[in-house]
Amino acid sequence: MIAIIDYDAGNIRSVEKALAAIGEEAVVSRDPAVLRSADKVILPGVGAFGDCMDNLNRYNLVPVIREIAASGKPFLGICLGLQLLFERSEESPGVEGLGILKGEVLRIPEGDGLKIPHMGWNSLHLVNEGRLFKGIPEQSYVYFVHSFYLKAADEKIVKATADYGVTIHASVEKDNVFATQFHPEKSSDTGLQILRNFASIGKED
C-alpha cells in the first residue's frame, strides 16, 4: 500500500487517481500510524513553500516525515513536495524546510522572454541512472508548474534536469528518498511509468 500524505495539498486526488490507474492501492491520510504502516509514502505539494510547511507543522507531520525518510522506506516528493525536502526556499525567507536533503530552492530568473511560472511540457535530460527513470527515454516530456527551482548541494543525487533559462534539478534520488519537480500524475504515459517504477522499488529484490 502507498500512503499519500494529507496536509491539504491541492494535487492529492490526482496523485491518488494516477496510482489507481497503474493498479496500486493507495490511502490518503495524515494519521502517523497509517503513514508508518504503508509500504511507500508520497508527499505531494502545490502552493507556497511557507504555507505548506505551516500545514505540515500544524498537523505534526514534520517529525513523522523525517522518521519515515530515515527508516529506509521508499519516499517520493512531488512538485512542492520536492522543494519541501530541502533546507530553504527563496519563496519563504526564514522558513525552515524539512532538511532531509541538502540544497536550496531559488526563484527562476526572468528574462529571455520566458514566462514565470514555468508551466507546461518540458523535456528531461537524464543523468546518474535514476531508478525512477528505468525504461524512460532521454528527452522525454513531462509536465511542470513552478516558479522556483531546486539547486541541490550534491549534484550526484540529481537524476534528471530540465532547461528553462537555468538548469533545473528536476528529479533527485538519495537512498530511499526520491523526488520530482514535475508532476508525474499529469505527465501522461511517461509519468505513469515513473510512478510504476517508484511502486516497484523493493519488489524486484
Catalytic residues: 79, 183, 185
Q: How far apart are CA 110 and CA 60, in angstroms?
A: 36
C-alpha 7, offset from chain centre: 15
Q: Give exposure, 95-108, as e/b (b: 16+ Cβ within 10 Å).
A: bebbebbebbbbeb
Q: How far apart are CA 205 and CA 193, in angstroms?
A: 19
**For the purposes of burial, counting CB atoms within 10 Å of the CB of 142, is it exposed (0-12), middle (13-18) or buried (19 or more)?**
buried
Among residues 169, 171, 165, which one has the least CA distance to residue 190?
A: 171
Q: How far apart are CA 145 and CA 164, in angstroms?
A: 12
Instruction: Give Cβ neighbours of residue 146 (< 8 Å, ≥ 6 apart).
Output: 79, 80, 108, 117, 118, 181
